[in-house]
Amino acid sequence: MSHPVVELRGVAKTYGEVAALAEAELVVERGEMLAIVGPSGSGKSTMLNIMGTLSRPTAGTVRVDGYDVDELSDRELSALRAGHIGFVFQSFHLAPGVPALDSVADGLLYSGRPRGERRRLADAALRRVGLGHRLYNEPHQLSGGEKQRVAIARAVVGDPPLLLADEPTGALDSRSGATVMELLHGLHQAGTTVVVITHDHDIASSLPREVRIKDGRIEHDTRAEAAV
C-alpha cells in the first residue's frame, strides 16, 4: 500500500500565545510538485519544519511516508529524516574550505556507508546537477547558483522520496534562480516529490499545485479546488 509522502491532519503550532499554524490539513502524494506560498510570518516556514520533522506540532497528526511522527522517538525521527527527507535552504549551509565533493558526501555521514561509497555517490549527485567540473572547488570558488546546486546535490544524494526546498532562489539572481527551478523540475520528473516554500507568487503559480497560507492558515489549495 502506498502512503502519502506527507499528511497533516488538524495540525497546530503555538509559541506561547502566538499561533504560528492553525488547523492545517494537507496531503502530499508521492510524485507531486507543489509550492507553499505566503508572505513573511504567514506560517510557511513553521509548516516546513513540521513536515520535515524538525519541529513537533502542538496539536494534530503528522505522518511522513506513513510514519506517525508523534509515535517516534527523537532518534527514530533523525533516522526518518536521514532516509526520507532532503532539505535545501536559502543560505546553502556549505562549510568554508570544504570541497563540493566532500560537502555532498557529508550528506550521507549517518547512513553507515563507507567513505569511498559516500564520495562515489556524491560524485554522481554533483554530475546530476551539472557540476561534474566543480567537484574539488570550495564555496568561495563557486557562484551563488553553483552553491545552491551543491546544496541540492547534498539533499538528494541519498535519493530521498521527499525534497523540501525553503526559498531555494531567494539569494540568487533571476538567471541562477531559473536554473535552480529547472533543476528542481528535473528532479520531480525523475520521481522525487518536491515541496517548494516561497514568497514568490510567480514561482508558486508555475508549479502544478499551489497552496497559499496566511496568518497560519491554509486559505487556498489548487488541488482541493480542482477536486470540487
pLDDT, tens digit, 9 for 90 and up, residues 99-130: 999 999 998 887 788 999 999 999 999 999 99
Report, as an integer, the average pLDDT of 49-63: 94
Contacts of 14 (CB under 8 A, 6+ apart): 20, 58
- pLDDT band for 227, please (50, 70, 90 cuts): low
**Nearest CA among 83, 82, 56, 59 for reference residue 69:** 56
Which amino acid would we find at residue 111? S
Domains of the chain: 30-53+72-207 (3.40.50.300)
What is the pLDDT, as a whole number, of residue 110?
Answer: 76
Mean per-residue pLDDT for 26-39? Answer: 95
Residue 85 binned pLDDT confidence (cut-offs 50, 70, 90): very high
Which of 89, 17, 11 has the alpha carbon at shortest distance from 51?
11
User: What is residue 91's predicted lDDT score, i.e. its pLDDT?
Assistant: 86
